[in-house]
Homo-oligomer: A and B are copies of this chain.
C-alpha cells in the first residue's frame, strides 16, 4: 500500500482491520503482524507511527465503538418529552434495539476470559456511561418525582454495571435458561429500587441477542 497522504484515513484503515480481527480471533490472539497482514502492505513502522502498542489500538477501537452508543445515550438524556423513569426505560430499550446490535452480537468477542476487553468495558461503564448519561437521568427523575433515591450517583453506577456487564452474554457463559433467570433477577433488582422498567419487550430482545451471540460463537 502506498504511503497514505491522509493520516486519518490510515488510522481508519488500521482500526477497521483491528476491529474485525479482534472480533474474529479475539484480542489476545491477534498480533500487530496480523493487523499488518490485513492492510495490504502497510509497514510496521506506519502502524507504530499512529499507535504505541496493541493495547493502544484496542483503546482506539473501543472508543470508536462507544461513540455511536454515546450519541444514542445523549439523545435520550437530552429529550424534553419524557420523565426520568421513562428516559431510563427508553434508554434500555434503544440500547438493545440499535441497528448495529445484531452485527455486534454476531461477531462479538468472548470477553469472559479476556481481561483487557472486560476491563475496558468496566472502566467505560464506571467513568463514562454512569456519570455522563445515567446520573443526569436519575437526577431528573428525582426532580420530576418519577424516581426515588437519596443516592443518585451510586444507584446510577450499580444499575448500569449490572445491565452492561452482568446481563452481557459476551462476559458470562450462560445457557439460555440461565440467561433468562438472570434477566428475571435483574428485573426484580430494578423493581426493588422502584424502577419497574424491565418489561417483556426488553427481556425478549435481550434473549434474542444472546441467542444470536451463542449461535455464532
Q: Which A residues have a C-beta under 8 Å from some C-beta of B? A: 115-116, 118-119, 122, 126, 149-151, 153-155, 157-158, 161-162, 166, 172, 178, 181-182, 184-186, 188-189, 191-193
Contact = CB atoms under 8 A, between A and B. Distances in A.
A158 B189 contact: yes
A175 to B, nearest CB: 11
Given A115-B118, A151-B181, A192-B193, 14 more contacts: A115-B115, A118-B122, A151-B182, A153-B181, A154-B178, A154-B184, A157-B182, A158-B162, A158-B186, A161-B166, A188-B192, A188-B193, A189-B192, A189-B193
A122 B186 CA distance: 19
B126 A172 contact: yes
Chain A at the B interface: SS class? helix
Nearest to A192: B192
Count of chain copies: 2
Contact of A184 (B118, B119, B151): B151
Nearest to A155: B185
Contacts of A189: 158, 189, 192-193
A162 B154 CA distance: 12
Contact of A118 (B119, B149, B186): B119
Given A116-B115, A126-B172, A192-B193, A158 B150 contact: no
B150 A184 contact: yes
Contacts of A151: 181-182, 184-185
Nearest to A122: B118
A182 B154 contact: yes
Contacts of A115: 115-116, 118-119
8 contacts: A115-B118, A149-B185, A150-B181, A151-B182, A154-B178, A157-B182, A158-B162, A189-B192
